[in-house]
């Protein structure tokens, strides 16, 4: 049964707190297995990658070639439906246009003492993009991960996608090509992450790895962190829909199901001040489930992790939203803008009644790679900033060194770092 909570109930706080920490994924103990895979790929290179690919993907990359050839990409374009291609191109353009606004500015200035400070942003030289195989192999996610890297100026965007039993979604190749991915490898799992982190004969090492994956991929990313950069560890997706009673229950039910159909571990939450409306939405969910192709997945997600939170007033909404820190937040109310100013923790916010979250998944232009599992408390969706880094710049002349030097010498002394002090004082003839 979908959970129903009401802020008017005496036990609300206890039930809401318990709801917040509900685990939606069984955490598999894969660390040791992953450690072995990484070690073998580090020491044996391509041979180890090929062996693991035979074992896990039942596919012989030694024979087929690890790298996807240009001809296969061309064939994928040929196969693609015209409407889909057009939509992918529109999505790419819109993502690019929006992400161009994220390119950070360099800075250089003199402070009142004449000290020059500043920074310079440069792209990460090489990035590895992981794309899951099978069901969750989404061309839209390829665009969302690769376009910001290309906009950032990353020279080499390599992609790894496993091909279980040799199968590969051709639209993934098309999306990669449209986005500007420079090389595509038919490999997956911890072995692909290890190849990206340490390099093999065929796969040159990258500097950062991004993209979602299963428990093995997530564990591998965690283990190679430091050797290379990684993005966030993605969990199952979630949406919180805040809706007043003036919404069409069918629309809101469709939004809840759009999240639920992703995964049985996905989570859809409705928050409203109108109990009758909540009932109408629940009834609409049940109705729509009957004709949905992924109804089994969506029904399980809604039953096990779905929730309806009744509030006494929309005044209660911002505090509750911040505690949930949802990946996706729909504010389907006239009060959307006002609420937004009082909310701090959410990955992406969709304002008003005509902004279903699915628009953001595909063609809004903003990124759909967003912090899950309450991590919007401390992290942001993927952006150009994830593909650049900043060199800090400092310049003093003799005059500024004379002004600031004595304080540096005093602090070096207080910290017992004599050579630090000397490197300053020797220039001051102290």
Residues 279-318 as x/- pattern, contact with a second copy by CB under 8 A: ---------x---xxx---x--------------------
- Characterise 165 by phi-psi region: left (phi > 0), alpha (psi -120 to 50), beta (else): left
Residues 114-133 as x/- pattern, contact with a second copy by CB under 8 A: -xxx--x-xxxx--------
Applying CB under 8 A, among 47, 64, 73, 87 the residue interacting with a second copy is: 87
Q: Which of 62/408 has CB closer to a second copy?
A: 408
H/E/C letters for each residue in 347-379? CEEEECCCCCHHHHHHCCCCCCCCCCCCHHHCC
Q: Coil, strand, or helix at residue 283?
A: helix
Nearest approach, Cβ of residue 174 and a second copy (Å): 10
State the alpha helices, DSSP H only, in 180-214. Answer: 189-198
Residue positions annotated with a catalytic role? 327-328
146 is an interface residue for a second copy by CB under 8 A: no
Q: Are 271 and 240 in contact (CB under 8 A)?
A: yes
Per the annotation, does 130 bind a ligand? yes
Applying CB under 8 A, among 74, 114, 427, 430 the residue interacting with a second copy is: 427
Which helix H or strand E contains 421, and what residues bound it?
A: helix 418-428
What are the two backbone dihedrals, phi and then psi, of residue 130, each rounded to the nearest 5 degrees? -95, 130
Q: Which two tokens stand for residue 389?
A: 């880094």
Measured CA distances, 101 to 143, 151, 181, 249, 385 (Å): 17, 10, 21, 36, 11
Q: Which of 50/370 has CB closer to a second copy?
A: 370
423 is an interface residue for a second copy by CB under 8 A: yes
Q: How many residues bind a second copy (CB under 8 A)?
A: 127
Q: Which stretch binds a second copy (CB under 8 A): 12-20, 64-72, 246-254, 275-283?
A: 246-254
Applying CB under 8 A, among 41, 48, 88, 173 the residue interacting with a second copy is: 88
145 is an interface residue for a second copy by CB under 8 A: no
340 is an interface residue for a second copy by CB under 8 A: yes
14 is an interface residue for a second copy by CB under 8 A: no
CA distance 151 to 227: 24
CA distance 284 to 288: 6
How far from chain centre, in Å, is Cα 20?
A: 21
CA distance 8 to 189: 47
Q: Which residues ranging from 360 to 379 are in contact with a second copy (CB under 8 A)?
A: 360-367, 370-371, 373, 375-379
Applying CB under 8 A, among 250, 274, 304, 316 the residue interacting with a second copy is: 250
Per the annotation, does 415 bind a ligand? yes
Q: Which of 61/171 has CB closer to a second copy?
A: 171
Per the annotation, does 262 bind a ligand? yes
Q: Which residues ranging from 197 to 216 are in contact with a second copy (CB under 8 A)?
A: 207-208
Query: Minimal CA–CA distance to 360: which of 237, 213, 181?
Result: 237
Counting every residue written for the chain, the total comes to: 430
Per the annotation, does 98 bind a ligand? no
Which residues sit in the known binding site?
A: 130, 191, 214, 237, 259, 262, 328, 361, 415, 420
């Amino acid at each position: 049964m979908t959970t129903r909570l009401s802020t008017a109930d005496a036990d609300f706080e206890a039930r809401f707190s318990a709801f917040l920490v509900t685990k939606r994924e069984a955490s598999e103990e894969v660390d040791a297995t992953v450690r072995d895979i990484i070690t073998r790929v580090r020491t044996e290179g391509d041979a180890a990658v090929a062996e693991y690919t035979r074992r896990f993907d039942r596919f012989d990359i030694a024979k087929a070639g690890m790298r996807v050839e240009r001809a296969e990409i061309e064939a994928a374009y040929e196969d693609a439906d015209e409407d889909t291609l057009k939509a992918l191109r529109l999505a790419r353009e819109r993502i690019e246009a929006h992400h161009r606004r994220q390119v950070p500015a360099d800075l250089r200035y003199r402070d009142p003492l004449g000290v020059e400070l500043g920074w310079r942003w440069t792209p990460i030289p090489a990035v590895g993009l992981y794309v899951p195989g099978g069901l969750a192999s989404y061309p839209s996610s390829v665009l969302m991960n690769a376009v910001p890297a290309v906009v950032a100026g990353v020279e080499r965007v390599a992609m790894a996608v496993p091909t279980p039993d040799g199968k590969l979604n051709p639209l993934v190749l098309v999306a990669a090509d449209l986005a500007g991915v420079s090389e595509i490898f038919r490999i997956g799992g911890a072995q692909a992450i290890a190849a990206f982190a340490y390099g093999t004969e065929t796969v040159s090492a990258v500097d950062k790895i991004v993209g979602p994956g299963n428990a093995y991929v997530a564990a591998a990313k965690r283990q190679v962190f430091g050797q290379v950069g990684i993005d966030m560890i993605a969990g199952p997706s979630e949406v919180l829909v805040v809706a007043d009673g003036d919404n069409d229950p069918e629309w809101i039910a469709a939004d809840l199901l759009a999240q639920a159909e992703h995964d049985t571990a996905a989570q859809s939450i409705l928050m409203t001040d109108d109990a009758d409306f909540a009932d109408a939405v629940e009834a609409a969910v049940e109705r729509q489930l009957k004709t949905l192709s992924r109804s089994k997945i969506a029904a399980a997600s809604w039953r096990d992790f779905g929730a309806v939170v009744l509030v006494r007033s929309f005044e209660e909404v911002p505090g509750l939203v911040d505690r949930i820190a949802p990946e996706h937040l729909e504010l389907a109310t006239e009060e959307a803008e006002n609420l937004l100013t009082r909310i701090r923790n959410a990955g992406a916010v969709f304002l008003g009644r005509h902004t279903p979250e699915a628009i953001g998944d595909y063609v809004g232009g903003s990124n759909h790679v967003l912090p899950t599992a309450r991590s919007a408390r401390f992290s942001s969706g993927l952006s150009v900033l994830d593909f650049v880094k900043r060199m800090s710049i400092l310049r003093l002349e003799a005059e500024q060194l004379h002004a600031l030097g004595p304080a540096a010498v005093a602090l070096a002394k207080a910290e017992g770092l004599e050579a630090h002090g000397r490197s300053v004082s020797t220039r001051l003839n102290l």
